[in-house]
Amino acid sequence: MKEHKVGIIMNGVTGRMGTNQHLMRSIVEIIKQGGVQISPDEAIMPDPVLVGRNMAKLEKLREMSGVQKITTDLDEVMNNPDYQIYFDAQVTGRRADAVKQAVAAGKHVYCEKPTATETKVALELYDICQKAGVKNGVVQDKLWLPGMLKLKRLIQNGFFGEILSVRGEFGYWVFEGHTIPAQRPSWNYRKEDDGGIIVDMLCHWRYVLDNIFGKVKAVSCLGATHIKERVDENGNTYKCTADDSAYATFELEGGIIAHFNSSWVTRVKRDDLLTLHVDGTKGSAVAGLRECYIQHYGNTPKPVWNPDIAQPIDFQGGWAKVPEQEVHENAFKVQWELFLKHVVKDDPFPWTLKEGAKGVQLAEKGMESWAKKAWVDIEEL
């Protein structure tokens, strides 16, 4: 078996997402399976080094993952030719400088999102990668979730007819920390630390909408900071300065209207933490992270408004579950494998840092819409 060894600098993997999705469920699993198979006798084998600012956390990660190489010296590994890829899962504000350093060192770049705090900086990162001739990509994990893949397959098969609207519901209750510890980091709720749900989630909604339903043409967004005070990881009370909820409507090409409620202060009574309800002229679907339910035109009930009697229609019973027609792997792992093939074999990888900049742009335009209380157009980047 011919093995293509690819060194990966994994910076910021001591955080929740970096540890769980990128290290444990992606890179470690790829190593366990014998690498990324690219032919019957050829595979790509990741060779990661874990980078962070806290050696104790890195030691714990080494024990958990089995990855032996760890360091707090980013400069040293950046200058080491054994590592071809730089991966960044740090907090957003630290990302741009580290990516620029990686490009200057000739590394290919793969980033979490948002790729920057401003659109012009996010575009600059893409531009410097292009000029340096290094390959680049942004994590757009939700495109490989089973629920989203099932939706895309329905569209490809013409199930919906003409798509009319998309309604997204995302979120859950994040505890304030006074009695029950919070399950998200405190920086998420401080604007001065680049927190806020608009910056966080509109980046996701951009690539979901663009890739599945149609390009975003305009946005109307209202944010809110519903919870004014929380308790941080050290037990200290702090003032919340970033939005914890966003109510956004998007105009898509082709006349489709999408509306997404995103909230860290909502209690869930739906099938999943994220659900998309898609209505079309011939049918509708509701997709979560993994499952998808459909109702065809021929199975659509005919309600009549009458508040004086108990509802005679079982609305839940009229939906059919889309069957499992293929095996779905972890969405982060799938994209990691695609990026590794892109680096080694030059396979296509359209999810570049320019796509990441589009996400930052939508978040920025969402904030502008909130400030102006007006619709804002999305220019082509």
Interval 85-98: pLDDT, tens: 999 999 888 999 99
The predicted pLDDT at position 271 comes to: 93
The predicted pLDDT at position 67 comes to: 97
Interval 103-126: pLDDT, tens: 999 999 999 999 998 999 999 999
The domain defined by 142-327+361-376 folds into: Dihydrodipicolinate Reductase; domain 2 (3.30.360)
The predicted pLDDT at position 16 comes to: 87
* CATH of 2-141+331-352 among 3.90.1170.40, 3.40.50.720, 3.90.1150.10, 3.50.30.30: 3.40.50.720
Interval 149-196: pLDDT, tens: 999 999 999 999 999 999 999 999 999 999 999 999 999 999 999 999
The predicted pLDDT at position 259 comes to: 98
Instruction: Using a pLDDT cut of 70, give the percent of the chain over it.
Output: 100
Residue 296 in this model has a pLDDT that exceeds 80: yes
Residue 1 in this model has a pLDDT that exceeds 80: no
Interval 13-49: pLDDT, tens: 998 899 999 999 999 999 999 999 999 999 999 999 9
Would you tell me how many other CB atoms lie within 10 Å of the CB of residue 279? Answer: 18
Question: Where do the CATH 3.30.360.10 domains begin and end in the chain?
Answer: 142-327+361-376
Residue 71 in this model has a pLDDT that exceeds 90: yes
The predicted pLDDT at position 183 comes to: 95
Q: What is the mean pLDDT of the chain?
A: 96
Half-sphere exposure of 53 (CA within 13 A, CB side): 6
Using 50, 70 and 90 to split pLDDT, how confident is the model at 278? Answer: very high
Average pLDDT over residues 358-363: 98
The predicted pLDDT at position 164 comes to: 98
The predicted pLDDT at position 7 comes to: 98
Question: Where do the CATH 3.40.50.720 domains begin and end in the chain?
Answer: 2-141+331-352
